Amino acid sequence: MSSDVLSLSLIEQAPKVLLHDHLDGGLRPITIIELAKECGYEGLPTTDPEALRTWFIADEPNGDLVRYLAGFTHTTAVMQTKSALARVARECAVDLARDGVVYAEIRFAPELHTNEGLRPSDIVRAVLQGFNEGVDEARGEGNVIIIRTILSAMRQAERSREIAALAVDFRDEGVCGFDIAGPEKGFPPTHHLEAFRILQKADFHLTLHAGEAFGLPSIWEALQLCNAERLGHGVRIVDDITWEKNDVRMGRLANYVRDRRVPLELCPTSNVHTGAVSSLREHPIEKLRQLKFRVTLNTDNRLMSGVSLSSEFDACAMTFGWDLSVMEWLTLNAAKSAFYQFDHRLDLINKVIKPGFAALRN
């Protein structure tokens, strides 16, 4: 490990890559309040911005996924018009760019925004428009960011084929991948095999939420039955690894994931808040990094966890002793794993990320 000690100011200046972030989990509290007023939504627990920010952060001891997901009732309720969707997307791009994120893949589920009669295609267009506006606004502030979109289908619903086809239809307009989200237990990804066939026939990218609330079987199904390229979370791969003093033994699935360089979209703070792990110190991200898994660091839901990508790096640096070289390694992992054309990834790495870290060292 080098002597490049990480500070929050250094982290904020570093170029960062984000692969796992939910659009409806990253709203500004003041935006929620204003949109609720516009659409007549009266279900908010408070209309004080700071109190609302505090309410959304699900960091009680022994957190669980049910409490964590409660906030999405409010965010999706105010994201039911094209103007609201475009505003949220625009602000997302600006906020990430201000945090030093140079490339981000933001995911959302169109089916959650149809309550007022919007067609899924109109929903996608509104979000893409918002991202484009946000990229332009960020550039005006002196921040350059590339935003690409992943469409999610909900495990517990029956619209995955429709959403998969929609993702393929918008592949040339900014949609770069497809995802299955929602409760893992009781809703295996194999219920959506027809959706995955649509993607495979179109040579399209697939990441799956797997190995977060459920264990190794969900990871195995995602990789071997659904052909996922990345694992959303994937934190439970640690269940296939044992440490006995200085001896590390990995099971066949863990070896397969590491050998194939399957990217793990890890979200440590979110995992603590949902109860997937008991504390940040107990999170396996550092052990997986030391074992050279393809680890990436992500936010999941910036509002619900009260994080930015910079704060997530800062928390892990404080907890695990990470330095600038570790941060660069994780950032390069994310860039290599992006659903982005190969030559564009090389440009991102060689013209933005590596020079950015070199400048910080100087």
Q: Pick from 67, 81, 86: which is nearest to 23 by CA? A: 86
Residue 233 placed within a domain? yes
Residue 1 placed within a domain? no
Nearest 10 degrees: Cα torsion 255, 258, 262, 268 = 110
Average pLDDT of adjacent 10-residue blocks, the chain of 362 residues: 74 98 98 98 97 87 68 97 98 98 98 97 98 98 98 92 98 97 80 95 96 87 96 95 90 98 97 90 96 98 97 97 97 98 98 97 90
212 belongs to the catalytic site: yes
Query: What CATH number is associated with residue 117?
Result: 3.20.20.140
Separation between Cα atoms, residue 34 and residue 36, nearest integer Å? 5
Residue 216 placed within a domain? yes
Q: Of 105, 111, 212, 328, which residue is the catalytic one?
A: 212
Q: Encoding tokens for residue 31?
A: 């935006």
Overall number of domains in the chain = 1
Residue 30 placed within a domain? yes
pLDDT in tens, 129-157: 999 999 999 999 999 999 999 999 998 88
Residue 2 placed within a domain? no
Concatenated DSSP letters of 21-58: EEGGG---HHHHHHHHHHHT----S-S-HHHHHHHH--
Residue 246 placed within a domain? yes
Residue 89 placed within a domain? yes
Residue 69 placed within a domain? yes
Burial class (CB in 10 A: 0-12, 13-18, 19+), 302: buried
Separation between Cα atoms, residue 234 and residue 216, nearest integer Å? 9
Separation between Cα atoms, residue 197 and residue 195, nearest integer Å? 5
Q: What is the pLDDT of residue 235?
A: 94
64: containing domain: 8-361
Q: Pick from 126, 119, 107: which is nearest to 181 by CA? A: 107
Q: What is the DSSP letter of 214?
A: S
